[in-house]
Structure 1
Amino acid sequence: MIRLSGVGKTYDDGTVAVHELDLEVRRGELVCLVGPSGCGKSTTLKMINRLIEPTVGTIEIDGVDVTRQDPVLLRRGIGYVIQQVGLFPHQKITANVMTVPLLYGESKATARERAHHLLDLVGLDPSTYGDRYPHQLSGGQRQRVGVARALAADPPVLLMDEPFGAVDPIVRVHLQDEFLRLQRELGKSVVLVTHDIDEAVRMGDRVAVFAAGGRLAQYATPADLLGRPADDFVADFVGAERGLRRLTVTPIDRAQLEPLEGVSAGSLGAAIDLDSTLEEALAVMLRDDKPMVGVKDGVRFVGVLTPNGVHRALRASLRD
């Protein structure tokens, strides 16, 4: 668990970068920090691993105040991924990933084995990519190596600062999907900075919206953030499309399904799984030009979802 209590950063010229921030990240949770440029989200991230020292407040990881730890040892135990990746250009990919385990005193054989495992985990075959240099990889591949290197010491906490911002949109979505898969498998506590609200609501278990002056405007689940903005600033930031964005983060509600009995096969689009989102359900209806879609739990049909059911599910999510 990461807990920030009354954390603030004021620079010598009086500029307030972060204002008395209280924030908690649960164990295994992915939290996105989002907001306009200069609002303090990257400063907050860097205070967690003390690349920037807080002016006031305390930062705890699993109950230990990080300001009382050796900053070098602290950073070795926290994974850190940045937009520019920061790989060592003169080292091959495997050697890059081995860096932190070797600093911890692991043998070269053990560090190499873990590096190969992590490269495989992020979708890079070590037999193909391990002996290449960073300049021989694409931007998306280098970003994957950066994630592997950050995970090499098996840190409980992973900090990510605009990790997918330097790649094209198609690669970006693919990297997001791969990282979410990896997060489900590893269960790290992740704090991710982004300026992109779509990325934040797509990836975050919770989203912290920062306003100018380093003020925390709202901290909520993606569904709550989009359905119940705390103020006009948050409403403007998440945009007029927040209704459409809610479809991407709202799961199908079994209670809003209608019985399958009496529905003709010609009325149904392709079946979807119960754990799909409302956006995925509507996409199938539109693609197949059908007024409803069948919903399955495993191999068993549990009902059909109609546009009215989508509307009811959205309203129910707000009541929850």
Structure 2
Amino acid sequence: MIRLAGVGKTYEDGTVAVHELDLDVAAGELVVLVGPSGCGKSTTLKMINRLIEPTTGHIFIDGSDVTTVDPVHLRRGIGYVIQQIGLFPHQKILRNVMTVPLLYGESTATAKQRASELMDLVGLDPATYGERYPHELSGGQQQRVGVARALAADPPVLLMDEPFGAVDPVVRIRLQEEFLRLQRDLGKTVVLVTHDIDEAVKMGDRVAVFATGGRLAQFGTPAELLAHPADEFVEDFVGATRGLRRLTVTPIDRDHLEPLEGVTTGDLGSAIDVDATLEEALAAMLRDDKPVVGVKDGSQFVGVLTPAGIHRQLRESLR
């Protein structure tokens, strides 16, 4: 869906913001750009919808070079969510979400119906919140409105620049989970920028780690990134706790389950789904103060997972 080929941005004073970037994002994929401040990740995002023009290289969306199309037309087909949200303060919430469909020439009735559906989708009852003004909503609610407005034209591509950075940690986690649910339902092609490695490995199908000077240091799945950092910079950036972070991105492997036979009832606490992560398995053991956790596929038990099984699975993934 999106391909960057040799894309670079050098400013007039000689500052290199992005250095010869090659990057691809598959249709329906959520790719996260992460790195320290000033490494070019937001610049890269803005070059995709030509808020910033690249100095070198080409950017393709669905096979078309974006530098050859009208930038206003291009942006109307790309959803864009920013940390500051950018809602119109003088317009009520429902009208804010209706903005893009109305720009496309939709009737007021059609735009209103679409806006109401999207407010429902992001967890805001249009009857309750549609007639309020932005200042009457919390930061987290405003961020949800920003996502709904970005989706209003049903764009195939969604660009998100630090979308959850302006809210407190508890709300941020809820927004992340809500957006992941939306992404599973809608299957948009998403490029998301963050400086938070925890957010990157939680949200991304793949993660692009940017180094200072606009250099792409590594591009891979969260599991690959945590298990096999490409260089010292990436290893330092993902941090000393990358072993723990691997638990969050590693799904349970049936091959490391042990049979239920021989496990006493007293050793077994609550059961988790076979699609859960190793983090969820370990959390269940600690929560129930049990040495094993049962694993179910639907209503059927398929085995138990022990701390030794978790260790074996993590060790094998390093090979």
Following superposition, the deviation at residue 262 of structure 1 comes to: 1.4
Indicate the residue corresponding to 1:138 in structure 2. Answer: 138
SS in 2 for 1:160: strand
CA distance, structure 2, for counterparts of residue 33 and residue 53 of structure 1:
19
Q: Is the 8 A contact 1:207 1:221 kept in 2?
A: yes
Indicate the residue corresponding to 1:226 in structure 2. Answer: 226
1:244 maps to a residue whose letter is L
CA distance, structure 1, for counterparts of residue 98 and residue 317 of structure 2:
45
1:215 maps to a residue whose letter is R
Q: Is the 8 A contact 1:34 1:195 kept in 2?
A: yes
Following superposition, the deviation at residue 147 of structure 1 comes to: 0.1
Indicate the residue corresponding to 2:209 in structure 1. Answer: 209
Following superposition, the deviation at residue 197 of structure 1 comes to: 0.2
* CA offset digits 1:258-281 (Å, max 9, x no partner): 001111111112111001110110
* CA offset digits 1:199-237 (Å, max 9, x no partner): 000000000000000000000100000000000000000
Indicate the residue corresponding to 1:78 in structure 2. Answer: 78
Indicate the residue corresponding to 1:261 in structure 2. Answer: 261
Indicate the residue corresponding to 2:276 in structure 1. Answer: 276
Indicate the residue corresponding to 1:2 in structure 2. Answer: 2
Indicate the residue corresponding to 1:311 in structure 2. Answer: 311
CA distance, structure 1, for counterparts of residue 251 and residue 166 of structure 2:
30
Following superposition, the deviation at residue 313 of structure 1 comes to: 1.3
CA distance, structure 2, for counterparts of residue 2 and residue 59 of structure 1:
7
TM-score of the aligned structures, taking structure 1 as reference length: 0.99
Following superposition, the deviation at residue 183 of structure 1 comes to: 0.3
CA distance, structure 2, for counterparts of residue 301 and residue 316 of structure 1:
24
CA distance, structure 1, for counterparts of residue 149 and residue 276 of structure 2:
32
Following superposition, the deviation at residue 119 of structure 1 comes to: 0.3
Indicate the residue corresponding to 2:42 in structure 1. Answer: 42
Indicate the residue corresponding to 1:101 in structure 2. Answer: 101
CA distance, structure 2, for counterparts of residue 246 and residue 275 of structure 1:
16
1:115 aligns with 2:115: yes
Unmatched 5+ residue regions in structure 1?
A: none
1:51 aligns with 2:42: no
CA distance, structure 1, for counterparts of residue 228 and residue 88 of structure 2:
44
2:125 maps to a residue whose letter is D
Following superposition, the deviation at residue 289 of structure 1 comes to: 1.2
CA distance, structure 2, for counterparts of residue 115 and residue 310 of structure 1:
45
CA distance, structure 2, for counterparts of residue 284 and residue 121 of structure 1:
30
Alignment size in residue pairs: 319
SS in 2 for 1:180: helix
Unmatched 5+ residue regions in structure 2?
A: none
CA distance, structure 1, for counterparts of residue 287 and residue 238 of structure 2:
27
Indicate the residue corresponding to 1:190 in structure 2. Answer: 190
Following superposition, the deviation at residue 312 of structure 1 comes to: 1.3
TM-score of the aligned structures, taking structure 2 as reference length: 0.99
SS in 2 for 1:155: coil
Following superposition, the deviation at residue 317 of structure 1 comes to: 2.7
Following superposition, the deviation at residue 287 of structure 1 comes to: 1.3
Question: Which contiguous aligned blocks of 4+ residues in structure 1 show a shift greater than 4 angstroms?
Answer: none
Q: Is the 8 A contact 1:250 1:317 kept in 2?
A: no
Following superposition, the deviation at residue 288 of structure 1 comes to: 1.2
Indicate the residue corresponding to 1:63 in structure 2. Answer: 63
1:25 maps to a residue whose letter is V
1:287 maps to a residue whose letter is R
1:246 maps to a residue whose letter is R
2:146 maps to a residue whose letter is G
CA distance, structure 2, for counterparts of residue 34 and residue 265 of structure 1:
45
Q: Equivalent pairs: percent with the same residue? A: 82
* CA offset digits 1:31-52 (Å, max 9, x no partner): 0000000000000000000000
Following superposition, the deviation at residue 315 of structure 1 comes to: 2.3
